[in-house]
Amino acid sequence: MLASLFSVLFDGFAYGMLLFLLSVGLSVTLGMMNFVNLAHCSFAMVGGYATVTLMNSFGWPFFATLPAAFLSAAAAGAVLERTLYRRLYRASDLDQCLFTIGIVFISVAAAAYLYGTLQQPISTPSYLQGAVELFGMRFGVYRLFLVVTALIVTAILVASLEYTRFGAQVRAAVDNPRMARGLGINLDRIFAATFALGGGLAGLGGALAIEIVGLDHSFAFTYLVYVLIVVAVGGLGSIGGSFVAAAVLGISDMAGKYYFPQLGAFVIYLVMVGLLMWRPAGLFGKR
Amino acid sequence: MTSARAAAADPHRYLEAQVRWRRIEIAFWLCTLLPFVLTPAYLQLASQIAITALFAVSLDLILGYAGIVSLGHAAFFGLGAYAAGLLSKHAWGEPLSGLLVASAVAGMIGYAASFIIARFRHLALIMITLGLGLLLHEAANSASWLTGGADGLQGMKIRPLLETFRFDLYGRTAYAYSLVVLFLTFLAARRIIHSPFGLALRGIRENATRMPAIGAPSRAHLRKIYTLSAAMAGVAGALLAQTTSTVSLEVLSFQRSADVLVILILGGAGRLYGGIVGAIIYMVARDQFSGINPQFWYFWIGLLLVVVVMFLPNGILGGLAKITARWRSRLP
Amino acid sequence: MTAVLSTRGLAKRFGSLVVAQDISLALPRGVRYALIGPNGAGKTTLINLMTGMLRPDAGSIFLGDDEITSLAPEFRVKRGLARTFQINTLFPDLSALESVTLAVLEREGHAGTWWRSLPAYRDAAGEAHGILSSLGIAKDAYRPTRELAYGRQRLLEIALALATRPKVLLLDEPAAGVPKDESADLFEAISGLASELTVLFIEHDMNVVFRFASRIIVMVGGRILVEGTPAEIARNPEVRAVYLGKAAYG
């Protein structure tokens, strides 16, 4: 009984870490420029498909594809931001939503055209399969790897935010964009860099997600809802908020499906609506 | 603008000019009778278009006029559909009273939800409408003892309209019924827009900060329009249930909420007829291209959205309005 | 005689930033007050507190004998407290006539009626047109607000506030951003305001202040420094120090 509770918690936390990687970029860019980028999960798809292509068509080892997933998604993000998005920074919420939904549709159709509509199979390396016993509990190796990766990424993010100049500029830009501009911070470059970084992380998430939830052409849509929930609940612009919200959501979803399977995804939606009503700006958002 | 020139120093004539029926409107409604004569094989489609148009107009009331961005409006469409369906299955199948009951059910739930909706703005509001819509869809899915779940509602018994006109595969009754209901409900929507309440809604949309400063109870206004809009969406859903004698979970889906949003933006929000124009174009196009792989359909819709937002921010009607304004200013 | 608008010990802070401290005022009927002080002194904050857009940390606000400290902004307007904004806060797509008519209808409680057509409300439209005429902007009545010149938009700001039939009118820098050639109309409008109306306006231009105000309140660093007639204020050494920068403050 306790063992199954623990495994639900761990699996849920691992799933939450995946959601965190997918969502953190969106939270920061939303908090910084108030730009509603619903196409964020398309970057995750870019990373995922990069991994699939490199492994299946070019025989790259799994680990080598991860940086490639990150970089390709980051590049996609940078290009999109430079060419299209920057024209819409002053547009209304609705226009941004609609525009980026359009991009999602296009990316989903493109993925279906290029790769078909079936799940993309990859064979994860054998050392990442199976489970290990630690402290008397069984941990799935891949999930453990996922959690460790996410924690390392979080540590790097937090450290660079706190201790680097770039990080300070990012924090200033999120806190008060007008003031930051007034201080001479080049907001355009900060935003482009953050966008690329966020996209890259989503790409990494997409690559890592293949083993856990699979990858198909509609990934950008399916996970959009979850990512939005994490961002809205965690609070815009807050890395810590995204972390907590993703963990809570991952565990709620896993627990809901395990203990109340007939309710389906009901639990997360209920948790989201309730949390948003309590804290409309998100758990850690700006008031 | 002609009304400005005509009104000169008279505020009353100016306001009357704003609400007067334009010739093109009358022409439009007369044209809605054409399908009976010109395309009698497509009356089922015409009926679907009328229903979707009604749904889009209901969304326009909250989105185009009051500025409430909802990603979950299908909730009320679906509530109306299931209400009408369940009524015909368990109680009686008379369509007109079913329509009223469905509208009342959707309206009451809309009223309850409006207390939540009116309190939030921006991303929180978008997410809450999305979440509530998804919740209702999941609940209906789980309550398969009531709704039939993924198989859809079974055993609906719709009686002929006015005990005379049967709903058949040809769609004559369906289209006539849908068209009349669309027209009557549209008249109500038109009256709302042109009333003091409609002006207040536009005020909220134009500048929500200013409204309390002129003594306006914005939240009460928002709750009222949300309720009216929910009741209207419920009518559309009930029409669908009654004319097709089926109700499936799809009526509550995010897909439907997103589609109606695209339709409204395509036609132009805040312009009364935008939802109708958008519905006609979207559904005719979808019918024409129905043979295509669904992937390609969504590719073109995506491209359309991108193009509309970049170049036609007020939809097709907005673009037309701009063209006619520019054309008029060239005339002597 | 009870003051029309009064506050007692109003205070507000944002974290460690004190924006209002111990503000106590009593404004009698019909008097024209100017609220002056350096930038950041808390003048707009005070208006936001009085109108209910900000909730005070301490203190109370009264309209006549009624306490309104926890009353929502729209209800304070209904009781007779109106304001204009420092930056035009208008309805860009509505025409001037529609905007003022809306304010009149809200005042009368008709704005919730959705089943009657707008032209049926002839009195409201007529009154709105009258207000626009009295401020000299009647000829712009039918154009969308966004097309109006800035100075005329400032007048529309005042028209909207007047349409609520206030007893107290708070004007936040009415002449801000108005080019010199348009400001004459503005000041004519202000001087033409009804004599029973209590007016408090924030202003930086001393010529305007001395021309229109019968009493002046000076705010510095969130506190009221001094209150008096223009002559008293002009002579006051503390005030001169604040404006000439000799004393250290805040």
Chain B: give the shortest CA distance to residue A227, in Å: 11
The residue with greater pLDDT, C60 or B9, is C60
Secondary structure (H, E, C), B136-174? HHHHHHHCHHHHCHHHCCCCCCCCCECCCECCCCCCHHH
List pLDDT tens digits, range A25-36.
Answer: 888 888 777 788
Is the Cβ–Cβ distance between B40 and B176 less than 8 Å?
A: no
Q: Within 10 A of C112 (CB to CB), how many other CB atoms are there?
A: 16
Contact C107 B215 (CB under 8 A): yes
Q: Which residues of chain C are within 8 Å of residue B1 when distances are taken between CB atoms?
A: 142
Mean pLDDT of A15-40: 87
Give pTM, 2 decimals. 0.87
Q: Rounded mean pLDDT of chain A? A: 85
pLDDT of residue B9: 58
Q: Which residues of chain B are within 8 Å of residue A109 when distances are taken between CB atoms?
A: 295-296, 298-299, 302
Chain A, chain B: beta-carbon pairs less than 8 Å apart: 111
Cα A151 from Cα A170, distance rounded (Å): 21
List pLDDT tens digits, range C49-102.
Answer: 999 999 999 999 999 889 999 999 999 999 999 999 999 999 999 999 999 999
Residue of A104, A273, A281 with shortest CB distance to B128: A273
pLDDT of residue A222: 81
List pLDDT tens digits, range A121-146.
Answer: 877 777 778 888 877 777 888 888 88
**Coil, strand, or helix at residue C33?**
strand
Q: Which residues of chain C are within 8 Å of residue B212 when distances are taken between CB atoms?
A: 52-53, 72-74, 77
- Tell me what percent of the residues of chain C surpass a pLDDT of 90: 65
pLDDT higher than threshold 80 for residue A167: yes
pLDDT band per the 50, 70, 90 thresholds, residue B233? very high
The residue with greater pLDDT, B124 or C32, is C32
pLDDT higher than threshold 80 for residue A174: no
Give the C-alpha distances (Å, rounded to integers) separating B170 from A267, B53, B179, B243, B332.
Answer: 44, 20, 15, 11, 51
pLDDT of residue A264: 67
Which residues on neighbouring strands pair with residue C60, listed in sequence order? Answer: C8
Residue of B192, B202, B215 with shortest CB distance to C78: B215
Q: Tell me the two tokens of residue A108.
A: 């989903």
Mean pLDDT of C121-141: 92
pLDDT of residue B275: 94
Q: Which residues of chain C are within 8 Å of residue B16 when distances are taken between CB atoms?
A: 119
pLDDT of residue A137: 77
DSSP secondary structure string, A7-20? Answer: HHHHHHHHHHHHHH
Closest CA to A258 of A8, A66, A69: A8
pLDDT of residue A286: 63
Mean pLDDT of A70-90: 87
First to last CA, chain C: 35
Closest CA to A47 of A264, A203, A157: A203
Mean pLDDT of A227-244: 86
Residue of A229, A265, A276 with shortest CB distance to B138: A265
pLDDT higher than threshold 50 for residue B1: no
Cα C144 from Cα C154, distance rounded (Å): 14
Contact B214 C106 (CB under 8 A): yes
Q: Tell me the two tokens of residue C131.
A: 């207000």
Cα B80 from Cα B104, distance rounded (Å): 9
Q: Cα A114–A118–A124 angle (5° rounding)?
A: 95
Is the Cβ–Cβ distance between B277 and A79 less than 8 Å?
A: no
Half-sphere exposure of C5 (CA within 13 A, CB side): 26
The residue with greater pLDDT, A84 or C74, is C74
Q: State the DSSP code for C120.
A: G
Cα B239 from Cα B51, distance rounded (Å): 7
pLDDT of residue C244: 63
pLDDT band per the 50, 70, 90 thresholds, residue A55? confident
CB distance from C9 to chain B under 8 Å? no
pLDDT higher than threshold 70 for residue B252: yes
The residue in chain B having the minimum alpha-carbon distance to the alpha carbon of residue C117 is B195
Which residues on neighbouring strands pair with residue C82, listed in sequence order? Answer: C169
Q: Within 10 A of C210 (CB to CB), how many other CB atoms are there?
A: 14
pLDDT of residue C250: 41
Verify C-B touch: 3 or more CB pairs within 8 A. yes
Q: State the DSSP code for A49.
A: H
Chain A: give the shortest CA distance to residue B128, in Å: 6
DSSP secondary structure string, A208-275? Answer: HHHHHH---TTHHHHHHHHHHHHHHHH-TT-HHHHHHHHHHHHHHHHHHHHH-GGGTTHHHHHHHHHH
List pLDDT tens digits, range B11-62.
Answer: 899 999 989 999 999 999 999 999 998 988 889 999 999 999 999 999 999 9
Cα B169 from Cα A219, distance rounded (Å): 38
pLDDT of residue B67: 87
Residue of A106, A262, A276 with shortest CB distance to B128: A276
Q: Which of residues 158-217 of C touch B (CB under 8 A)?
A: 160-161, 163-164
pLDDT of residue A195: 86
pLDDT higher than threshold 80 for residue A265: no
Cα B309 from Cα A263, distance rounded (Å): 38
pLDDT higher than threshold 70 for residue C125: yes
- Tell me what percent of the residues of chain B surpass a pLDDT of 90: 55
- Tell me what percent of the residues of chain B surpass a pLDDT of 70: 97
Q: Rounded mean pLDDT of chain B? A: 89
Q: Rounded mean pLDDT of chain C? A: 89
Q: State the DSSP code for C69.
A: T
Q: Which residues of chain B are within 8 Å of residue A228 when distances are taken between CB atoms?
A: 127, 130
Q: Which residues of chain B are within 8 Å of residue C91 when distances are taken between CB atoms?
A: 202-203, 206-207, 210
Which residues on neighbouring strands pair with residue C6, listed in sequence order? Answer: C26, C62
- ipTM value, please give it: 0.90
Cα A214 from Cα A210, distance rounded (Å): 4
Cα A138 from Cα A131, distance rounded (Å): 6
List pLDDT tens digits, range C177-214.
Answer: 888 777 777 878 888 888 889 999 998 888 888 888 89
Q: Which residues of A touch B (CB under 8 A)?
A: 30, 36, 87-88, 91, 93-95, 97-99, 101-106, 108-110, 112-113, 117, 217, 225, 228-229, 232, 236, 262-266, 269-270, 272-273, 276-277, 280-281
pLDDT higher than threshold 50 for residue A18: yes
pLDDT higher than threshold 60 for residue B2: no
Q: Cα B203–B207–B213 angle (5° rounding)?
A: 85
pLDDT of residue A276: 82
pLDDT higher than threshold 80 for residue A231: yes
Q: Which chains touch B (3 or more CB pairs under 8 A)?
A: A, C
pLDDT of residue A192: 86
List pLDDT tens digits, range A247-264.
Answer: 988 998 888 888 877 776
Cα C185 from Cα A164, distance rounded (Å): 55
pLDDT of residue A211: 85
Element (H, E) at C78: helix C73-78
Q: Which residues of chain A are within 8 Å of residue B127 when distances are taken between CB atoms?
A: 228-229, 232, 272, 276
The residue in chain B having the minimum alpha-carbon distance to the alpha carbon of residue C123 is B12
